[in-house]
Amino acid sequence: MCRVKMWLKVFSMTLLALCTGVNASNLDRYEGYNKYTVFHDNEDAFNYLVDLQTESAELDFWLLTRNMSVVAVSPTEQPIFEARLNTLNAQYVAKPLMEEMSAFNETFTTDCLGSECELNRPRRQARGFFSHFPRYSEILNFMSALAARHPQYCRYESLGRSFEGRHIAALSISLNSRVRDRRVAYIQAATHGREWITPLTVLYLANELLNNLRAFQRVLQDVEVFLVPLVNPDGYEYSFTKDRFWRKNRHRYPGRSCAGVDINRNFPNNWNYNGASQNLCSEVYSGTGPTSESETAAIARYLEYNRNRIKLSLDVHSFGKFLFYPYGYSKNVVAPTRNLLHSVAQRAANQIAKYRGTQYSVGTSAGILYEASGGLDDYAYGNLGIPMSFTVELPGENFQVATSDIIHICKETFAGFVEFIRHVSLY
């Protein structure tokens, strides 16, 4: 009896890990952690949190906006953190992180266990890829299979390799690859390892475009869509196997216990100026210099080589439901084409809302969130002159999205992507 129970437990844990990617080992280190949702309508509290984000290696900011933040805090830091919030008059709600994550386990257990699970299987396969969080190799297989199925319209390539040697894989989609100077719509995702929903939205875009080429003939006329769904494959894999909330790449330095560079602080625009840190243990460590990381260098090489053709750059992150345009490094600097950027992003937000009413906020990340330099958006716009450059923060309360919600996020985001791409041919 006992053995049966044990077997059932192992079986259900394996299923859980397969379907949600949440497993004991990638959450181990979060025992006793709290997730704090902090409400701060005063400038002092906001500035305190901004300083903590760059200076403290102990706190992990999941979201930091002008009036609300979400922070993961270790048990030892909790008393100090709470005392400081109290003196700053900031309200907060604390919830054990494990409890937060177990909500997702439940989604799965009730969704698919026992006989129901078996019954669901064929349907799951038919619904396919967009009902779970795929690993690196599964993503690459999906991409190469798409290219193999549509050889005339889709090319699968590698832009280079990550620190640990994984491919930074890309898909180029176009109707007429013989036209050499097609305008390019560039879209990338998963710069931050833990943002699991992001590559799925980009792969969904690839899949939809290729399966409905005729319907998108006008949008794709003379436009090449270039997709890099997994900019940070090492960080992404590490968030499955070791640490669910890993953000940076996996650069290791001899003799140092901390690892990783924040790729979105490593681009050569005002590098390490604001919202970035030179402390290797920080979540926003900017690296030893601009483009010091192989992942950043691979992206920058592609963008620089194609800079005259690229009219749109989209960097997909999670979470918060925001559409950001440059500049993100300083709230005192206004992009010369700010009105155009704002109206294109607003149109995309309106298209997204049509699916199920999801409301995005549009603005600069320096205005809505915090000032942070070395991001792809500022580099694409400011250094390369790419006229439309945006960062998308997808919906979520957390980096874990319920598996049943994946398809809806993919569908609504798809409407926004198409709207952005539509503007490429207007340039």
Tell me which of ligand 0X9, Zn ion, none is bound by residue 395, counting a contact when its beta carbon lies within the kind-specific cut-off of 5 to 8 angstroms: none
Nearest Cα residue to 139 out of 220, 249, 314, 147: 147
Nearest Cα residue to 221 out of 275, 255, 182, 164: 182
Phi, psi of 68 (to 5 degrees): -150, 140
Nearest Cα residue to 381 out of 284, 302, 314: 314
Return the half-sphere exposure (C-beta side, CA atoms, 13 A cut-off) of residue 275: 24
Distance in Å, CB of 55 to ligand 0X9, minimum: 15
Choice among 195, 295, 393, 412 that is catalytic: 393
Distance in Å, CB of 254 to ligand 0X9, minimum: 27
Tell me which of ligand 0X9, Zn ion, none is bound by residue 324, counting a contact when its beta carbon lies within the kind-specific cut-off of 5 to 8 angstroms: ligand 0X9
Tell me which of Zn ion, ligand 0X9, none is bound by residue 21, counting a contact when its beta carbon lies within the kind-specific cut-off of 5 to 8 angstroms: none
User: Active site includes 393?
Assistant: yes
Reported as type and span, the H/E element at residue 304 is helix 294-305
If the CB atoms of residues 192 and 422 are measured against Zn ion, the closer one turns out to be 192
- Classified as helix, coil or strand, 63 is strand
User: For the window 276-315, what string marks contact with Zn ion as x by the rule CB under 5 A?
Assistant: ----------------------------------------
Neighbour-count burial of 72, counting CB atoms closer than 10 A to its CB (0-12 exposed, 13-18 middle, 19+ buried): middle
If the CB atoms of residues 182 and 250 are measured against ligand 0X9, the closer one turns out to be 250
If the CB atoms of residues 167 and 317 are measured against ligand 0X9, the closer one turns out to be 317
- Classified as helix, coil or strand, 87 is helix
Spatial contact of 316 and 189, defined as CB atoms under 8 Å apart: yes
Residue 132, interface with Zn ion (CB under 5 A)?
no
Residue 192, interface with Zn ion (CB under 5 A)?
yes
Residues that bind ligand 0X9 (CB under 6 A): 192, 264, 317, 324, 328-329, 365, 372, 375, 377-378, 391, 393
List the interface residues with Zn ion, window 316-335 (CB under 5 A): 317
Tell me which of ligand 0X9, Zn ion, none is bound by residue 375, counting a contact when its beta carbon lies within the kind-specific cut-off of 5 to 8 angstroms: ligand 0X9
If the CB atoms of residues 192 and 250 are measured against Zn ion, the closer one turns out to be 192
Could you give the CA distance from residue 293 to residue 237 in angstroms, rounded to a whole number? 17
Phi, psi of 60 (to 5 degrees): -120, 110
Beta pairing, strands 60-64 & 34-39? unpaired
- Cα-atom radius of gyration of the chain, to the nearest Å? 21
Measure Cα distances from 21 to 131, 359, 399, 400, 403 in Å.
12, 28, 12, 9, 10
Cα of 372 vs its chain's centroid, Å: 16
If the CB atoms of residues 40 and 317 are measured against Zn ion, the closer one turns out to be 317
Q: Which amino acid is at 185?
A: A
If the CB atoms of residues 174 and 191 are measured against Zn ion, the closer one turns out to be 191
Of the ranges 73-81, 139-147, 191-199, 378-386, which one interacts with Zn ion (CB under 5 A)? 191-199
Reported as type and span, the H/E element at residue 205 is helix 197-211
Residue 166, interface with Zn ion (CB under 5 A)?
no
Spatial contact of 245 and 309, defined as CB atoms under 8 Å apart: no
Tell me which of Zn ion, ligand 0X9, none is bound by residue 198, counting a contact when its beta carbon lies within the kind-specific cut-off of 5 to 8 angstroms: none
Distance in Å, CB of 32 to Zn ion, minimum: 25
Distance in Å, CB of 381 to ligand 0X9, minimum: 10
Q: Dump the DSSP string for 352-385.
A: HHHHH-PPPEEEEHHHHS----S-HHHIIIIIT-
If the CB atoms of residues 21 and 328 are measured against ligand 0X9, the closer one turns out to be 328
Tell me which of ligand 0X9, Zn ion, none is bound by residue 378, counting a contact when its beta carbon lies within the kind-specific cut-off of 5 to 8 angstroms: ligand 0X9
Name the residue whose CB lies closest to Zn ion. 317
Could you give the CA distance from residue 295 to residue 302 in angstroms, rounded to a whole number? 11
Q: Which amino acid is at 119?
A: L
Distance in Å, CB of 182 to ligand 0X9, minimum: 27
Of the ranges 67-75, 126-134, 187-195, 320-328, which one interacts with Zn ion (CB under 5 A)? 187-195
Distance in Å, CB of 74 to ligand 0X9, minimum: 20
Q: Which residues are catalytic?
A: 393
What residue ranges bind Zn ion (CB under 5 A)? Answer: 192, 317
